[in-house]
Chain A
Amino acid sequence: MNKALLKRLIWTIPTLLGVTVVTFALVQLMPGDPTDISLRSKGIIPDAVSIAEIRRQMGLDQPLIAQYGAWLNEIFHLRLGLSFQSGLPVTKELALRLPATLRLMGASFAVACILAVPAGIVSAWYKQQHLDHAVRFLSILGASLPHFWIGAMLIYLFCIRTNLLPMMGDGGIMNYIMPSITMAAGMAAVYARMLRAGMLEAIADPHYKAARARGIKQSRLIVQHAIRPALLPFITVIGNSFGYFWGSSIIVEAIFSWPGVGRLMIDAIFNRDYPVIQAITLLTAACVIVVNLAVDLIYYWLDPRIRAEGGRYEEL
């Protein structure tokens, strides 16, 4: 194994620890007493005795660092606490909601690719011509539209005016159309731009000229020597878009009443259900770290130049 890659793996550990510190600190930032919220959520009127009792139960009488240690131990054993709102274990709530969000993210990713891949290729191939200008105009438009605005306009056009699509919830395939388009619009613009830039770079590369000079068939030339090299940096963008999709799912799920993690998050924020907020924040950051690590490993596997030099991880 390459030394730089090993370094990359090792540096993931402090980042993960940092994420737990931030998540823990967020709850300390929260105004209001968690014991008070916890008691009220169980229907107990807080008084001095019950507060002292629950403080001891929750370990809040311990110093902060001990609290953090105890919490970290719980997290490590995947015990994320009980939701104040429902009284169920947070892990159970998450397991219930996660599939819906992941399905929506998958659908959005597919829509973004369906829109962006042909657009990016066409745009690069007809560089500085009408088609390219049209694609670039559309991609700037796509990146400029607020999610909820696209969502609201889609609902207005397809539900209120024409009644073509179901408006809310997670049901059949028709239910995916509007939320996934809403979520994909911004990312499709980024994908198309990246693909265009990558292809133009590949076309400017000497190896492309050499391939063309050899007289390779044009379709093969485009696929093998222009698109293929452009796909490598694309993997990084896909990794980055994971966090973006996850973040925007909060808003998209709120618009379309999608029964996923995003809705759980919003409900939790308005109800100050801090075990749920903490769990979702932590889960998200951990997923982002794992996805980024996976992207780097895929790179390592795909690109022999990196295996030789370790150049990509030099920054760390």
Chain B
Amino acid sequence: MRNFNIQRIRKMAGAIGNPLGNKIASSGLYILLMVIVVGILAPMIAPHDPLAVNLTAKLLPPSLEYPLGTDQMGRCVFSRIISGTMASLVMPLTAMALILLIGMPLGVIAGYYGGVFDRIIMVVVNTMLSFPNLLLAIVLTGFLGPGTLHILLAVVAVWWAKYTRIVRGMTLSLKEKPYVKASRGCGSSDVWLMFRHIVPGTVPTVLVFSALDVGRMILAISGLAFLGLGVAPPSPEWGAMLSDGRHYLQTAPRLLLSPGLAILLVMAACNLLGEGLRDALDVKR
């Protein structure tokens, strides 16, 4: 009977219900996981082929066969939404990974060494941060032309500077901490100090901002799609669906409603995760 301990069970249940120690963050995490599972299982769940055109069944209202109706080409909207999940999520997540890969090392090195390199990096960062994200992303994709790779490039080019600035600012204060100085006194190398002692200290803050920014990226990418600068149809993607749907606002507003709600769900999950983590990890700013 040793394992049958009501307190232990309660604790385990708590860990499952609230893995991040903050209910808001945990609910965001669960929504995101749920969306990802649906995205992975999409080929099995989808009642119809998301690309199958059926012009005899166009713009149908929701029914048992088509839970969210059909679009202007008779494709099943429900199938398209769940099949578009991965396309809509993978791009911002990849972009975020690239941004951290570029932004964090630059920030740590600039903050740690200071000097001329720091000055140059900060001028570049301040320059990039002077352009509103959306404006620069629109100009870049406008010039490069639509396409997944170009959008990815534009998003990374626009967002990396923010992380360099955040990480640099934190490095400046972290490198003066007693434990870093103690490690230096023990003869640790610069690289060890930076990546063993300083980078981990920046992780909570970076985590909060990246959760919030993945959401903002989804928003920006769908905004680009709305302006006609997005991923080329017919591959299902939420932003592109919204962009197609806007021509049917008068006759079939549900074509806008459903991808919008999908974006809202993921955005809300990212915001819950970010805001919850901000409270839980006590990140300021």
Which of A's residues lie within 8 Å of B, judged by CB? Answer: 11, 14-15, 18-19, 21-22, 26, 29-31, 140-141, 143-149, 152-153, 155-156, 160, 193, 243-244, 246-248, 250-251, 254, 265-266, 269-270, 277, 280-281, 284-286, 288-289, 315-316
Q: Mostly helix, strand, loop or mixed at chain B's interface?
A: helix
A21: chain B residues within 8 A (beta carbon): 127
Contact for B132 among A11, A31, A247, A254, CB less than 8 A: A247
* Interface residues in B246-285 (C-beta closer than 8 Å to A): 246, 249-250, 253, 256-257, 260, 263-264, 267-268, 270-272, 275
Looking at the assembled complex, report how far the CB atom of A75 sits from the nearest CB atom of chain B, in whole angstroms: 15
* B260, A269: Cβ atoms closer than 8 Å: no
Q: Is the CB of B142 within 8 A of A146?
A: no
Per-position contact with A for B106-145: 1 when CB-CB < 8 Å, else 0? 0000000000000000111011101111111011101111
Known: A146-B222, A148-B242. A285 touches B139 (CB 8 A): no
In whole angstroms, how far apart are the Cα atoms of A7 and B56 in the complex? 69
| Contact between A31 and B246, CB atoms less than 8 A apart | no
Contact between A140 and B268, CB atoms less than 8 A apart: yes
A residues within 8 A CB of B207? none
CB-CB nearest in chain A for B126: A15
Q: Which B residues are closer than 8 A to A by beta carbons? A: 122-124, 126-128, 130-136, 138-140, 142-145, 169, 172, 215, 219, 222-223, 226-229, 242, 246, 249-250, 253, 256-257, 260, 263-264, 267-268, 270-272, 275
Q: With A18-B124, A254-B226 given, name 12 new contacts (CB 8 A).
A: A11-B126, A15-B123, A21-B127, A22-B127, A26-B143, A30-B143, A146-B223, A149-B256, A251-B227, A281-B131, A288-B131, A288-B132
Report chain A residues within 8 Å CB of B242: 146, 148-149
Chain A positions within 8 Å of B128 at CB level: 22
Q: Out of A19, A22, A156, A289, name the residue touching B249 (CB < 8 Å).
A: A156
Structural contact, A19 and B135, CB atoms closer than 8 A: no
Top-8 shortest CB links A-B: A18-B127, A247-B132, A247-B134, A269-B142, A144-B267, A149-B260, A243-B132, A285-B130
Chain A residues within an 8 Å CB radius of B270: 144
Q: In the complex, are the beta carbons of A22 and B227 less than 8 A apart?
A: no
Distance in Å from the Cβ of A102 to the closest Cβ of chain B? Answer: 15
Q: Are B135 and A284 in contact (CB under 8 A)?
A: yes
Partner of B256, one of A18, A147, A153, A315: A153
